[in-house]
Amino acid sequence: MAPNLDLSLPKTAPNNSQHRATASGSYAQAVYSLIPLELSTLNDLASRLNAAQDIEPGTCKLAPRYDFANRPLRDVYDYHLQLRDRDPSIHPLFFIVAVDADYEKNGVLVVHLNTGQDEEDDRVDKARCSVEWAASWGLNLDIGNMAWEDLKEEEADEWGDTAMPWTPESNQPTRPDTAPPRSQYACFSLVEKAIELPEKLDPNFYSTPAEHRRVILGGNYASAGGLPEIARLFPWFCKSHPETHRQMAIVADNPDFEAQDAVKLLRFDWDGDVDAHDDVGITRLGLACEVVKTVPAGRAVAELDQYCRDFGLPQAWPASGGEQV
C-alpha cells in the first residue's frame, strides 16, 4: 500500500435507508484511485476486477470522477454519496479504491457504507482485499451470502498485520492558512441530481480538506421522505457528525442552484444537546424547524453566518475564541 494515505472515514453514512435493498438490483461497483495512476492502468484494474471468477463484465467500472490522487479517502466518500443519488446504476453502498500501484500483489481497498447486520446500526467500514475477490465481496454482501464480519475474518487471514484498519496518516492537501471552522452547516437535497451542489455552496469543496469545509453533506431526500424526514433525522445527524452546526442547516429544493430560491435556510428549535439522547430517542424529538430565508446556493453560507450573528446563535465562523457550538 502506498504510504501516508489518509484512510479515515466517518462511522456512519447519511440517508442509507433508501439504498439498503440492493439485492434485487443490478449495480456497477465504482472504482476510484487515491494514488497517481495512468488512465490505462486504471482501465486495466477495472478489467482485472471484472475478469475474476463468476463476475460478469461491467460489474466494476471507473467512476465518472475517479482520480483522487493524494487526497483523503473521505473525499472519495463525499463524492460517492453525491454520485449514488445522481446515478442509480452505481452501487450505493460499496465501492473499490486503488491504494497501491502494484494492486496485483498488494490488493485494493473496499469500502461498505452499511455493514450493520439485522437490527444493528449502520456502520461504515473498509477492508483490504485481493483484486480477485473485490467484486465478489460486494455481490456476496448484496445477496446475504456473507456478513461483513466474515469478510473481515478473510481479510485478517490473507493480509495479517496489514489488514485494516491501517494507520490513517495524513496525506491531505496543504491546509489553508486559517483555522478550520468551529462547525459546518449540514446540507440536504430535495433535488434528485445534485452532484454540483457542494461546489455551488462551498467553492473548491472537493479539493478542500474535510475539516476546513464550510458545509457537510447530509444526504439526498428527494425520494426518501422529503423535508419532514430531514427534520426528523437532523438531530441524529448532529449526533453522528459532531462538527455539525446544531441550529442551522441548508436544504436545496430547486435544481437551478443559482435561482433566488435555490436553497432554504432552516433554523431548528432545540438546545443541540446530542449527548442527552440515544441513537433511537434522538430521532423522536419532533423538532420544530423554520425556513428563515431562501437564497441562491452561492449565498447560503454567508447568509447563515450573518443570521447567526444577528440572532445571537453560535458562530460557525470565524474560528477564534472559546465559544462552542
> Each residue of 208-235: pLDDT tens digit?
888 889 999 998 888 878 999 999 999 9
Q: What is the pLDDT at residue 323?
A: 39
Q: What is the pLDDT at residue 324?
A: 37
Cβ neighbours around 55 below 10 Å, total: 19
As a whole number of angstroms, the distance between CA 85 and CA 80 comes to 9
What is 17-162's CATH number? 3.40.50.800
Q: What is the pLDDT at residue 85?
A: 82
As a whole number of angstroms, the distance between CA 278 and CA 266 comes to 24
For residue 232 the three cell numbers come to: 426528523
Enumerate the domain spans of the chain.
17-162, 184-310
Among the listed residues 325, 279, 276, 322, the one whose alpha carbon sits nearest the alpha carbon of residue 304: 325
pLDDT, block means (10 residues), the chain with 325 residues: 79 69 70 95 95 89 93 91 88 95 94 73 85 92 83 87 50 54 93 85 82 90 88 93 96 94 96 91 92 96 95 78 38
- Contact in structure between 124 and 12 (CB atoms under 8 Å): yes
Write out pLDDT tens, residues 71-122. Answer: 899 999 989 988 988 888 999 999 999 999 999 999 999 999 988 655 555 6
Q: What is the pLDDT at residue 2?
A: 67
- Contact in structure between 208 and 198 (CB atoms under 8 Å): no
Among the listed residues 99, 94, 129, 90, the one whose alpha carbon sits nearest the alpha carbon of residue 111: 94
CA atoms in the 13 A half-sphere facing the CB of 60: 32
For the stretch 191-215, what's the b/e string if a residue is b when 16 or more beta carbons lie within 10 angstroms of its beta carbon? beebbebbbbbbeebbebbbebbbb
Q: What is the pLDDT at residue 178?
A: 67
Cβ neighbours around 22 below 10 Å, total: 18
For residue 50 the three cell numbers come to: 471484472
